[in-house]
Chain A
Amino acid sequence: MFRIIKKSLKIGVVTGQYRGAEKPLLPVIPEAKEKSTLFKRSLAIREVDTGSCNACEMEMNALLNPVYDAERFGIHIAASPRHADALVVTGPVTVNMERALKDVHKQTPDPKIVIALGDCAIDCGMFKGSYAVTGPVERHIPVDIRIPGCPPRPAEILEALSELRKSTA
Chain B
Amino acid sequence: MTEARPCDDLLKAAFPAIVQGDPVCGESSHFQVPKDLLPAITRYLHTQPTLRGRLTLIWACDHRPARDSYGLHYLFTLEASRHWVVLSIELTGNDRLFPSITPHVHAAKWYEREIRDLFGLIPEGHPDLRRLVRHEHWPKGTHPLRKDFPWDRVLGRRQGEHHFRRIEGEGVFEVPVGPIHAGIIESGHFRFSVAGEPIMQLELRHFWKHRGVEKLFEEQMLIGAVPLAERVSGDTTVGHSLAYCQAVETLLGLQVPRRARYLRALFLELERLYNHLGDIGAMCNDTAYALAHAHCGRMKERIMQLNDRLTGSRFLRGAIRVGGVTRDIENRQLTDIVDELNRIQPDFSEVGAIIFANASLTDRLETTGILHEQAAWDHAVMGVVGRASGMDCDLRRDRPFAAYDELPVNVALYRYGDVRARLRVRGDEIHESIRLIREIRSKIPDGPVANEPSHLPNPGDWTLSAVEGWRGEILYMVMAGEGGRIHRCKVRDPSFVNWPAIQWAVPGNIIPDFPLINKSFNLSYAGNDL
Are A130 and B209 interface neighbours, CB within 8 A? no
Could you tell me the distance between the alpha carbons of A56 and B525 in the complex, rounded to whole angstroms?
A: 13
**How many angstroms from the CA of A77 to the CA of B487 in the assembled complex?**
43
B216 touches A97 (CB 8 A): no
Provided the pairs A53-B234, A67-B297 are in contact, do residues A126 and B184 lie with their beta carbons within 8 angstroms?
no
- Asked if A26 lies at the interface with its beta carbon under 8 angstroms from chain B, I say no
Beta-carbon contacts of B257-281 to A below 8 Å, as 1s and 0s? Answer: 0000000000000000000001000
Cβ contact of B233, chosen from A54, A80, A129, cutoff 8 A: A54
Q: How far is the CA of A86 from the CA of B94 in the complex (A)?
A: 53
Report how far A48 CA is from B181 CA in the complex, Å.
8
Is B167 at the interface (CB under 8 A from chain A)?
A: no
B524 engages A66 (CB within 8 Å): no
A57 touches B184 (CB 8 A): yes
Q: A94 to chain B: which residues have CB within 8 Å?
A: 208-211
- Decide: A48 near B525, CB < 8 A? Known: A67-B297, A67-B301, A95-B210: no
Q: Inside 8 A of A150's CB, which chain B residues have their CB? A: 231, 317
Give the contacting residue for A77; candidates B184, B212, B298; CB below 8 A: B184
> Once the chains bind, are A130 and B182 in contact (CB under 8 Å)?
no
Tell me which residues from 113 to 141 in chain A have a Cβ below 8 Å from any Cβ of chain B: 125-127, 129-133
Q: Which residues of A contact B514 (CB under 8 A)?
A: none
Residues in B with CB closer than 8 Å to A133 are 211-212
Which residue of A11, A80, A131 contacts B144 across the interface (Cβ within 8 Å)? A131
Interface size class of B (residues with CB under 8 A): 35 or more
**Residues from 1 to 52 in A contacting B, C-beta threshold 8 Å:** 3-4, 7, 11, 14, 18-19, 47-52
> Any chain B CB within 8 A of the CB of A91?
yes
Q: Are A66 and B314 in contact (CB under 8 A)?
A: no
How far apart are B409's CB and chain A's nearest CB, in angstroms?
A: 26
Q: B6 an interface residue at 8 Å Cβ cutoff?
A: no
Determine the distance from Cα of A51 to Cα of B213 in the docked complex, in whole angstroms: 11
- Verify if B305 is at the interface (C-beta below 8 Å from A): yes
Query: Which B residues, 206 to 258, have Cβ-Cβ distances below 8 Å to chain A?
Result: 207-212, 215-216, 227-228, 231-235, 237
Provide the bound-state CA to CA distance between A95 and B185, in Å: 19
A81→B208 CA distance, assembly (Å): 19
Question: Are A132 and B212 closer than 8 Å at their CB atoms?
Answer: yes
Contacts of A95 in B (CB 8 A): 135, 137-138, 155, 210
Q: Among B137, B235, B301, which residue has its beta carbon within 8 angstroms of that of A54?
A: B235
B311 to chain A, nearest CB (A): 13
Contact residues, B285-308 vs A (CB, 8 A)? 291, 294-295, 297-298, 300-301, 304-305, 308
Cβ contacts under 8 Å, B298 to chain A: 11, 14, 65-67
Task: Check B186 against A54 for contact (C-beta < 8 Å).
Answer: yes
In contact, B211 and A130 (Cβ under 8 angstroms): yes
Interface flag for A148 (CB, 8 Å): no
Contact with B along A71-82 (1 / 0, CB 8 A): 000000101110
- Complex contacts, A57 vs chain B, CB 8 Å: 184-186, 234
Q: Select from chain B the residue with minimum beta-carbon distance to A107.
A: B180
Q: Which residues of B contact A64 (CB under 8 A)?
A: 297
Whether, in the assembled complex, A104 has its beta carbon less than 8 Å from a beta carbon of chain B, the answer is yes
Residues of B close to A14: CB separation below 8 A:
298
Count A-B pairs with CB separation below 8 Å. Answer: 155
For B1, what are the chain A residues with a Cβ–Cβ distance below 8 Å? none
B359, CB-defined interface residue at 8 Å: no
Task: Check A132/B144 contact, CB under 8 A, given A66-B297, A96-B209.
Answer: yes
Known pairs A54-B526, A94-B210, A132-B144; A66 contacts B233 (CB<8 A): no
Residue numbers in B under 8 Å from A50 (CB-CB): 187, 209
Interface status of B315 (Cβ within 8 A of chain A): yes
Complex Cα spacing A63 to B96, Å? 50
> Looking across the interface, which residue of chain A has its beta carbon closest to that of B315?
A55
Partner of B315, one of A61, A97, A151: A151
Asked if A97 and B152 sit within 8 Å, CB to CB, the answer is no
In the complex, residue of chain B having the shortest beta-carbon distance to the beta carbon of A53: B234
A11 CA / B294 CA spacing, docked (Å): 11
Residue B154 at the A interface, CB < 8 A?
A: yes
* Min distance, Cβ B498 to any Cβ of chain A, angstroms: 16
User: Is B198 interfacial (CB 8 A cutoff)?
Assistant: no
B binding-site residues for A, Cβ under 8 Å: 135, 137-138, 144, 149-155, 179-180, 182-187, 207-212, 215-216, 227-228, 231-235, 237, 278, 291, 294-295, 297-298, 300-301, 304-305, 308, 314-315, 317, 350-351, 353-354, 357, 524-526
A residues whose Cβ falls under 8 Å from a Cβ of B: 3-4, 7, 11, 14, 18-19, 47-62, 64-68, 77, 79-81, 91-92, 94-97, 99-100, 104, 125-127, 129-133, 150-151, 153
What 5 A-B pairs are tightest by C-beta distance, nearest first?
A55-B234, A65-B297, A79-B182, A132-B212, A53-B234
Return 20 A-B CB contacts under 8 Å, by A number.
A11-B295, A11-B298, A18-B305, A19-B308, A52-B186, A52-B234, A54-B233, A58-B278, A61-B184, A62-B297, A62-B300, A81-B180, A96-B135, A96-B208, A96-B210, A126-B228, A129-B151, A130-B212, A133-B211, A133-B212
Inter-chain pairs besides A97-B209, A131-B212, 10 sampled, C-beta below 8 Å: A4-B354, A49-B180, A50-B187, A52-B526, A54-B525, A92-B211, A99-B137, A126-B216, A129-B151, A132-B144
